[in-house]
Structure 1
């Protein structure tokens, strides 16, 4: 996902160079591709037997496709059935089902059930990367691309007039600057956590703003906060959020992150108001519609060959014409002015720009994390080591202990949370509370919530942090594993949808209980649920703590381990870790 180029720059039907994650798929893919190509040549030369009745011998292939491209792929599949297209002499029966991209990516990453489809066609490599990032997920074999479409900024005509469409061109930063401040243009998008269009659009804003101003994070946050008030749950819903003429009363969106294909579809509908497209000059992210065989090792030879026969068919001229009729760009022609005009683009808008530098993979992940933090309130259970290991002095801190500096850093971090953010506090050490290694000192609750005595939860929590102290015994045993499992279970059981749920673990020493570690890892693998994600942010404080150890545990939950030599750095690490959650590996 390092480049999201326009089709003039790289043909969409080329085999992508994605690195296989869990097994070597190159030989198998090459063999299947050569067989499929051979089948296509034989069909073209009349060497295959095309019977009139295929019902009894057809090879069925189920294909899960992004909702926007599913109608075009379904049309190709229906045409293939009508024409008795075959693989190895047997007709292929491809059934196309429209499925939400983010749902399938999470299902494949979890790998808890066998998929009910042999081919997956999402709208972007964003979802493929998410599915492949999980170590125990379902394997995917790349098999080319079906089409592409650029992400642009669509505006209603009144907004286009204000912005000088089509004659005036902008960067992403310049366009979105018009959506904040006095008399802003109302900008909406599909949720970047669920939409590649929304995510790539927002990532382009982040990259463009930082290019213009390295200290532009405040402007980025302002854009995210503004966008968050006008976000739609899916790509299908976002166009419906547009302002509807003079009766709108200022409620509907005037501009959207939208693909060229979605604008084409909208503008082609009967009675639709024409959208106008701005193609920013500094980036051209595209949806690239990658084709993937799903769990190829489990496919029969007939299924593999039939799937690749259909994939090769999608890249033939007839099928690509069907794609173009549905508003997609293809590998078989240059950018069609008719398509662009129907979608709302006009020269001098740079709709054929090929030299842009769209967001990198790292930028996309960071942007998703930033979006998560900006849009969603945090719900954190903070678990602090109070074993004897935290009593050790911090070099260069005038005799202050790790616990002293940790508490000061935590109190400073609390000041940065909003009243809607929820934070709870536990402490732990081996045998801290009778048979348990942990205590719950403060419930996870909104910081602005007031108790009966009038004190806010923030005030009560600050008092509890200030009172943290290492245990007086000489043992440095932490009881970390038992505590981590208990905190994770409670955080997952009390999960709040729409918030950034996480467990933050601060530990100053190792836990030497190997059996407890194995139990923790096994239990976390069973409990981790991408639909109710509770990532573990594990921060190793000081030289005795083992960052690699806590990272191995944390990544099972979708989180990560960090290391700080000076507890004063905890605040910066916590902020970095929370911001990374939205784009973390799953």
Structure 2
């Protein structure tokens, strides 16, 4: 490997609109979320796209770590770069290698210091292109500004609401203007969809990402404040405060706060493909336009499309509702890293590639991959059409970046007015939980500490209960269940809940009646579920069911009944954590999907506390 030296990237103009330092009211949550995203496995997800390799071709190798939805696009841009004047001006040729590294993973790797966590030094990045400058700003704040250089946006995409086409038409789309206030009115009306003549569709349901971890989620809450104020510019902290009741009502429609839209879209896609085409799961999804375009092409999670892969469009597409009051925009930066492993030759080539991305030749490639060029005069092409659910003329109104204090006020307000939670944590304490996880702790130690760490993510008004299960125990909840805490407001009980969880270290441990425990927990939560809350079960199990009376098929039929079309106004969603290599991931995934929940992989049991926190970020 060549000698290492630091190199400053070429001058560029950053177009970031949100910076983590604005989020003073949520600094702890932001910091934990950054460390959590995409970090559930023992090894980083670092893979090259396009089937190429890193064989020495005699040119300077420039690796670009980028979010998955941009890998295919950057492959095409890399090829075009070879023919550009920017490439010709280099002293020696350069080859660009995009690799898929999630934005959160890259943030974690860079803030941790030291070398890039990949044994093959050929895959260590020269450049970084996360989904948003939120991530580059985080590294600049947590590590150093020189490490991330001067990020500059080279493409952007607006935040829209994706609505199933049939549902959108019921709201007057495409002729009628639809605003966030129209969604808020549907949320406020107890009749829900019946208020527009569709009683079979049940309540109006919105999916949003958590603003503490997601640029899209933060954009959405700012858009709500703009809508409530009637403004399209100059939003103030006083406007945000005045919008509190409007936003509170809007948040009541949220099914749960996800960490990524891709997982929500995958759930919706699976329902449309396997069912009749409609869905009672969600009515509108706050997402980026590029994600909607990927969904409508049959790529709901925006994964890297491999050569020869065939995509199947959904039976019913999502259409983009550009709120009449205006949209925020997300940027996509690229920067040359100031890391020790980046050589002067790589830095020079990277700066040339970044410059090329600003040229007309590069900007004309972007629309082919669902991204908008910075230059509005560049034609958008065939993808940006009604056939794929978008309007090339939208959004009609662009909402500008609010001031620092305004963004902080919006985050602080959301923490107070977001939909409250009612959560039952169900923990497997069977005999296998005594196994070590390699850091001096047992699996049970990790589970206890993970559950304890989540308590700080709940408000005092959130309801929290804790059950444990194994064979040979009994409580008022039934056979094989221990009730550590009934589901009730957390209030000031964090210390007593901590103590109750500690008691599990001395509990009787035997078999694994997994399905019976889930069935009992589901009955408990359905009996107390309220429309105004996120009703959820967080399940942790390290093994396969060994002692249940109910079968998996019967359990799935039972828990899936209320999530069918028309659905229940107070669904109970299950969020299983597959803990350790012995966990039955297939069964846990089926259980999650049956209720519209999401399953989490904690095969690296040492990271269970981080995974628990990520689960709670969905509430």
Shorter-chain TM-score tier: 0.5 to 0.7
| Counterpart in the other structure of 1:234 | 260
Deviation at 1:302, TM superposition (A): 0.4
Structure 1: gaps of 5 or more residues? 1-12, 22-53, 380-413, 423-448, 465-486, 499-528, 536-580
Could you tell me whether the CA contact under 8 Å between 2:205 and 2:255 is conserved in 1? no
* SS of residue paired to 1:307: helix
Moved over 6 A (4+): 17-21, 375-379, 449-452, 454-460
| Counterpart in the other structure of 1:567 | none
Distance 1:222 1:192 in 2: 17
**Correspondence 1:172 to 2:201:** no
Distance 1:219 1:123 in 2: 29
Deviation at 1:197, TM superposition (A): 2.3
Could you tell me whether the CA contact under 8 Å between 1:200 and 1:359 is conserved in 2? no
* SS of residue paired to 1:61: strand
Q: TM-score, normalised by structure 2?
A: 0.50
Match for residue 207 of structure 2 among 175, 188, 204: 188
**Equivalent residues in 2 for 1:232-381 (5 A)?**
232-242=258-268, 244=272, 247=276, 250-269=279-298, 270-272=312-314, 273-296=316-339, 299-334=342-377, 336=379, 338=381, 339-342=383-386, 343-346=388-391, 350-354=394-398, 356-368=399-411, 374=418
- Give the alignment's Cα RMSD to 1 decimal: 4.9
Distance 1:142 1:156 in 2: 39
* SS of residue paired to 1:127: helix
Could you tell me whether the CA contact under 8 Å between 1:450 and 1:457 is conserved in 2? no
Match for residue 108 of structure 1 among 107, 110, 115: 110
Change (3 A) 1:377 1:106: farther
* SS of residue paired to 1:63: strand
Distance 2:136 2:102 in 1: 13
| Counterpart in the other structure of 1:99 | 101
- CA deviation profile, 1:150-202 (whole Å, cap 9, x unmatched): 11112111221122112222443433443453324322234544432233223
* SS of residue paired to 2:385: helix
| Counterpart in the other structure of 1:33 | none
Change (3 A) 1:69 1:250: closer
The count of residues paired between Structure 1 and Structure 2 equals: 376
Change (3 A) 1:417 1:336: same
Could you tell me whether the CA contact under 8 Å between 1:149 and 1:260 is conserved in 2? yes
Deviation at 1:107, TM superposition (A): 3.3
Structure 2: gaps of 5 or more residues? 1-11, 21-54, 118-123, 193-202, 231-238, 299-311, 424-457, 467-481, 506-538, 541-574, 576-606
Could you tell me whether the CA contact under 8 Å between 1:14 and 1:144 is conserved in 2? yes
| Counterpart in the other structure of 2:220 | 201
| Counterpart in the other structure of 1:72 | 73
Bigger radius of gyration, 1 or 2? 1
**Correspondence 1:129 to 2:137:** yes
Deviation at 1:121, TM superposition (A): 0.7
Change (3 A) 1:362 1:225: farther
- CA deviation profile, 1:547-574 (whole Å, cap 9, x unmatched): xxxxxxxxxxxxxxxxxxxxxxxxxxxx
Deviation at 1:222, TM superposition (A): 4.2
* SS of residue paired to 2:365: helix
Could you tell me whether the CA contact under 8 Å between 2:78 and 2:95 is conserved in 1? yes
| Counterpart in the other structure of 1:480 | none
Could you tell me whether the CA contact under 8 Å between 2:148 and 2:336 is conserved in 1? yes
* SS of residue paired to 2:349: helix
* SS of residue paired to 1:299: coil
* SS of residue paired to 1:64: strand
